[in-house]
Amino acid sequence: MGTKTRRSIYKKKRYTIPIIIVVLLVAFRIYLPTLVKNNINKILADIPGYYGQIEDVDISLIRGAYVVNGMYLNKVNAKTQVPFLNFPKSDISIEWKSLFKGRIVSEIIMTSPEVIYIFEDQQAPTDEKTADVDDWTKALTEIVPIDINHFEVHDGKIAFVQLQADPNIDLNIDNIELYADNLRNVKSAQGTLPSPIHASGVTFGDGNMTLDGKINLIKEIPDMDLEFALKGSNATALNDMTRHYAGIDFEKGTFELYSEVAIADGYLQGYIKPMLTDSKLIGKEDGFLGVLWEGFVGFFKFILKNQTTDTLATKVPFEGDLNNVETGVWPTVINIFGNAWIKAFTGEVDGDIDFKDAFEKAKDDANKASEKEKRKEKRQEKKEARKERREERKAKQQSEKETTD
């Protein structure tokens, strides 16, 4: 074989290997979306009590992202599958600005997601084991392997449905816009709640919903300080629910709801303040018994509403360890009369729940629990000491008896 021939073969090999590598990389890039899609479909299908799939995946290696299209997750009961989650488009990517802070985290932007909570299907037993926190955490970690630091929702929807009610109860919040940032505390913030959160939406009865606050998701039991307001909802939108549970419906009126919640070290403190303004009961199509009952309720509504503002309201406080939360029954009743006869509640968040208060009460609760445990240990020690003394006396008496014999 001549020198020229050997050089020609060498040149061919020199170009062949890079070409093969390039072809393999291109083939892998083409197959990558299918690989990711199959992996996610397997994860969704393996969640106990649920079944889900996705349509396709778009990969963008340049910005370190992939877009999941047409994702759904259904609740599986004994006979059928019931819609639970529907996520048309979820953009999952590296949060590049956090790389400059030395952290590798992700951000998720969801477009038009829907969550449908059907009461009966969430309560009914399934053929399979129901998913617990570990199952959901594992599934989320496999779909989004990098910690989530930024989360957005655009044009979202949450629906609460009860099918066995007659007529069906369907309460929903549409046009949800949600923004949550610094969830992994990449940008160190002062205080113990580093992550701001804001949400807004249009509720049943064309009401306006807002949620504002700060949270700390890094802890095992998240800390949070949140304010919630639902304003200007037409009370007639509640008729399906009020007729099912209370046998009444509204001809007109405005429903509003305000709430504050603070959680610190597993200790919860907060309240819910529902309000009905300019409301009127008794529809024209009610039968005699329906009119009689609604008239009876309307009489008490008249007595208990504030005549100046035409508002029926109360404030339901709740407080305690998350494993044993107690609502204030008597304060709730007293607040009804307080709004009617003393001072009308205002249509806004009261601002009387402070995260620091919940934090201090959590410490007090922990100290009380510690003192209780110490007293329990002391009682146990005394009990063991008494037992030892009894054993010693028995042994001594036995020894003396043997000596005498």
| Cα 22 → chain centroid | 46
Asked if residue 297 lies in contact with residue 353, where contact means CB atoms within 8 angstroms, the answer is no
d(CA 377, CA 317): 35
Segment 225-243, tens digit of pLDDT = 999 999 999 999 988 887 7
pLDDT of residue 368: 64
d(CA 183, CA 108): 12
Chain position carrying tokens 């300080």: 225
Best-predicted range by mean pLDDT (76-80, 84-88, 120-124, 345-349): 84-88
Could you give the C-alpha distances from 373 to 125, 368, 376, 381, 386, in angstroms and in order? 39, 8, 5, 12, 20
37 pLDDT more than 60: yes
For 119-166, where are the E strands, in sequence order? 148-162
Q: How many other C-beta atoms are found inside a 10 Å radius of the C-beta of residue 349? A: 17
Q: Which two tokens stand for residue 404?
A: 């005498």
d(CA 277, CA 254): 5
Segment 188-218, tens digit of pLDDT = 666 678 999 999 999 999 999 999 999 998 8
Q: Which amino acid is at 98?
A: S
> 39-43, 52-56, 276-280: which has the minimum mean pLDDT?
276-280
Q: Which amino acid is at 293?
A: W
Mean pLDDT (the chain, rounded) = 77
d(CA 375, CA 369): 10
What is this structure's pTM?
0.75
* Interval 68-78 mean pLDDT: 86
Torsions phi, psi of 228, nearest 5?
-125, 140
Report residue 327's pLDDT band, with 50, 70 and 90 as the boundaries: low
pLDDT of residue 222: 85
pLDDT of residue 99: 81
pLDDT of residue 166: 73
In the chain, count H helices and then E strands: 8, 16
**Residues forming beta bridges with residue 199, ordered by sequence position:** 178, 211
34 pLDDT more than 70: yes
Is the preceding peptide bond at 167 cis, omega within 30 degrees of 0?
yes
Report residue 24's pLDDT band, with 50, 70 and 90 as the boundaries: confident
Best-predicted range by mean pLDDT (164-173, 213-222, 348-357): 213-222
Segment 113-160, tens digit of pLDDT = 999 988 765 555 544 566 666 777 778 888 888 889 999 999 999 998
DSSP annotation of 195: E
Helix (H) or strand (E) holding 67: strand 65-76
Kind of pairing, strands 326-327 and 316-321?
antiparallel
